[in-house]
């Protein structure tokens, strides 16, 4: 327990130094749910500006008709496999990531139906506000590992981050977003 308290104190100190003002910015959503999902899935453990952003922008340019998750799922399923979709449409050969993209799309189609809102994007925003967990992205793990001075496991990063956000009375989702921006792009959040 003493180690956890020390780790928490180190993380809180680094958070205060990195973010003098409490993070308050929500995730920067794309204008449509399919682009937002592509962004989230493609950005996992990848450099955002070099890898993710160009692929999402190219998809948006190539498929302006895909405005809803159902349209994205239909496009994925129009290929023999999700991998073939990923290769052709995203210039990305990763079978597991392609399967993840399809799975997240299907899951969010169902999840957003439980929330009120006139559009799919509004319902997805409500869903996002309802969840308190953050993903243990490589960027988040790196930030927390740097703070405590050692390599940590996914569950440790999440546990420490949740405890730090609670101690500081900071919104966990906003903190996750700001940390990700800082780590993934090297830019200080605006």
In a domain, 116, yes or no: yes
Query: Do 80 and 145 fall within a single domain?
Result: no
pLDDT of residue 4: 72
pLDDT in tens, 148-183: 999 988 788 888 988 898 899 888 878 888 887 787
In a domain, 190, yes or no: no
- Its domain, for residue 150, covers 2-26+133-185
- Specify the DSSP element, H or E, that contains 154: helix 154-168
Query: Do 121 and 45 fall within a single domain?
Result: yes
pLDDT in tens, 50-93: 999 999 999 999 999 999 999 999 999 999 999 999 999 999 99
Encoded tokens for 51: 């890898």
How many domains is the chain partitioned into structurally? 2
Can you tell me the distance from the alpha carbon of 157 to that of 145, in angstroms, rounded to the nearest whole number?
Answer: 8
Query: Do 38 and 125 fall within a single domain?
Result: yes
Burial of 72 (0-12, 13-18, 19+ CB in 10 A): buried
In a domain, 11, yes or no: yes
């Amino acid at each position: 327990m003493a180690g956890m308290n020390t780790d928490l104190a180190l993380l809180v100190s680094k958070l205060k130094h990195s973010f003098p003002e409490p993070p308050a910015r929500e995730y920067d959503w794309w204008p449509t749910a399919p682009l937002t999902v592509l962004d989230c899935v493609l950005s996992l453990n990848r450099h955002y500006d070099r890898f993710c952003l160009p692929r999402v922008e190219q998809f948006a340019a190539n498929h302006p008709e895909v405005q809803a998750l159902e349209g994205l799922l239909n496009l994925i399923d129009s290929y023999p496999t999700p991998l073939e979709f990923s290769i052709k449409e995203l210039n990305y050969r990763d079978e597991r990531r392609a399967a993840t993209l399809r799975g997240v799309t299907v899951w969010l189609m169902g999840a957003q139906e439980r929330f009120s809102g006139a559009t799919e994007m509004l319902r997805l925003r409500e869903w996002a506000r309802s969840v308190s967990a953050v993903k243990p992205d490589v960027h988040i793990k790196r930030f927390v590992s740097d703070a405590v001075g050692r390599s940590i496991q996914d569950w440790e990063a999440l546990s420490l981050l949740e405890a730090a956000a609670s101690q500081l009375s900071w919104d966990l989702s906003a903190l996750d977003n700001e940390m990700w921006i800082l780590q993934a792009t090297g830019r200080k959040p605006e």
